[in-house]
Structure 1
Amino acid sequence: MPDTSRPEELVYDPTDPAVMADPFPVYARLREEDPVHWSPSLRSWIITRYTDVRDLLLSDTMSVNRLLQFYESLPPADAMLLRDIVHYLNLWLAFRDPPDHTRVRRIMRHAFTADAIATMRPQIHEISDLLLDRLAAAGTDDVDLIREYALQLPAFVIMDLLDVPRDMLDEFKEWSDDMAVFIGGARNSDDKYERAARGCRHMSDYFRKLIEERTANPKPGFLMDLINARDEGDKLSDDELVATCILVLFAGHETTTNLIGNATLLLLRHPEQLDRLRADPELVDPMIEEVLRFDGPTNALVRVVARDHDLHGRTLREGERVFVMVNSANRDPRMFDDADRFDITRDQNRHLTFGQGIHLCLGAKLAREEGRIAVRKLFERFPDLTLNPAEPPEWLDAMVPRGTRRLPVRLNG
């Protein structure tokens, strides 16, 4: 059993609505009083200081291959239900250690090139304009910005990337949401195994058929690049291709949705920073980096202890689960001056939002590009945009992603 001694009054409860809305006060206490915190409710370690988070993300004492142990501990009925989703998730880069991770990432980099991202820029502009035109023509000032803009923009970008028709958005959103309750660590979903299995089944069946069709009838684009990607003659297997398509669609839209939503919320809550951005549009790049640091779309990353080791007097034992709290690390005053101040002119912004080392996010460049375009165009089109005072934002109930489920705004003040 882990050493669970800690300050009695200090308990991290991610299901508390107040913590969902603003976890940073409890993160500050954890950093100071209990930086290696055992959570009985999560049955996991909670790591909150910047250097500890960074070092653990880089350390070979940690593993990302956390699904096998979990799967083998399930009752037979649950194991059968989750068989397919665990199979495909185990093929994701995010859940593979070297040498498997090294091999797959080496192949995938031939599709995720800087040129491939650059060719998407006109499409991102086109999609943003399309969605903003719809908002302007809707005839109502009160909208949920997540549903009507922040979700659709990155979803359409990724669907275009993978040759998925845009009119399938509702189906893919449903499948993705079903998987998210399992992957994202949702706490209050009794049927999450059934939903995850259903979402994975629909998505894997769709992509398997699409890959077969595209292989038989080649068409230039990212999906074809992924199918053809090779490194020293090695290529992705059919199951790896399906798993990669699911990963690109799932991770590619969720993270960016939260980035756009969080950026909009922060700028509206800090009007002096929005005024700075309007006065100097060149600040859009550091603005995105500051959003990623101050309240980024990745709350935590999950690891499993690969071998016993000590950290700040606690022994982390092989097989125990660890949440490395990226959003806490990004507010650590040991690393960032005036860490709790949102400042879009901040320099030396070495946040950890996209990870570190070999698991650095392959889609980070695309997410940044989408965020820059989406936020800039939104405030240009609706300069009087405000939060809806009658409806507060609704935050996601999840450990890993960080964002709003709903962000009610008024387009014209």
Structure 2
Amino acid sequence: MKWTKRLQLTSLTLLSAGLLTYAGWGTAASMTAAAAPATPTPSCSSGDHGILQKLQKKHTDGSSEPLTFDAVDFLNADTGRAAGNGFLIGTSDGGCHFQEIYQGQWSFQQIDYPDNVHGWALATVQDGQAKYLIRTTDGGSTWKRLGSDMVTFERIEFLDSTTGFGYNRASTYYTNNGGVSWSKITTPANTRGADFTSRNSGWAVVIVPGRGYQVMRTTDGGASWKRMMNAAYSDPKYARVYANASQVYTVLYGGSGMSQTSYSLYGSSNAGSSWTRVIAQETAGGGPAPGSGAAKVKKGPGSGSPGNMQLVGKTTAFMVGYQPAAQMVGTGVTKNNGQAWSNSKTVLGFEGVISFVDDNQGWLAVRDLNSSTLYFTKDAGANWSAKFSFEF
């Protein structure tokens, strides 16, 4: 996300009844293992929950950007974290209460937790441009930079406490020691997006100048690649691919102009043997969408630019979309491998990032002119309820 990205908290303040009191998440017990409260738990609340007030005041005094959410990652509907410019907060009761986990120099761009203890992040130092890979082994209370050099990763994904992947538009990297060292995985020439579900199994989207996009697959760790789909487009530039054990989706970007973006979303549920053109969004400013053939819908979520996707299980996929000029952020979902697609109502905002944990429950971080808000849904995005908000 392009919002400001900075914030961290040095100690955990457990504000809600029912949570164990220890210095950092993951150091003694998981949040879900807390003993039953001795007194009734206070009712659910929204707003800023009374935390980060001093930091928020510092960032709204005209000398700094206001606090904003730039990253969100949930393990389940109750337990997860959200982070931004200088802070990391968490909840263990579905957003009824939040706790400060970290406050400090790091401005988080992405966070990734395979469990409740181990986490990684792409972050800058305050307002700096250099991006670093950092790691926590205590749930997020403390962070250690991995290596002294900045990284080129645009995205990270860890499968467990040791195994992970780092991606930029052209390259893919693999680690089996928690990010201490990385090896480059061979991807096809002109790769513009990749995603691996294991060290051996991966997908890549390549561009063929003047002709279009090709979706490729490897089952031997990049030693060989097989073409699985072609999508014609005269000026291919950028693509994203998302995969799990059962599904693969690719977002193929067209042109942009007049605050409009054209793109196509293709999906497959049979390892790329056949594909469904789920979304084909053509716009006046961006022109035609890449590829050809009928699509299930002609507009994506928010009728705007595509954001991140989340694949759940064998049949469900979510995507966020945003249209900054109209201040609209929305989500879309398929629950039958792209054979039908439904776009949700929009919320006010410029951009958004999602973290869905099952077929219906998920989280959305959004910024608008006056606030940065975490929303929760229990009906696959048909309705969103605000759980935490920073007012500017």
TM-score higher than 0.5 here? no
Q: TM-score range by the shorter chain?
A: under 0.3
Q: Normalising by structure 2, what TM-score?
A: 0.25
Q: Normalising by structure 1, what TM-score?
A: 0.24
Higher relative contact order (CA 8 A, sep 6+): 1
Q: Which has the higher strand share?
A: 2
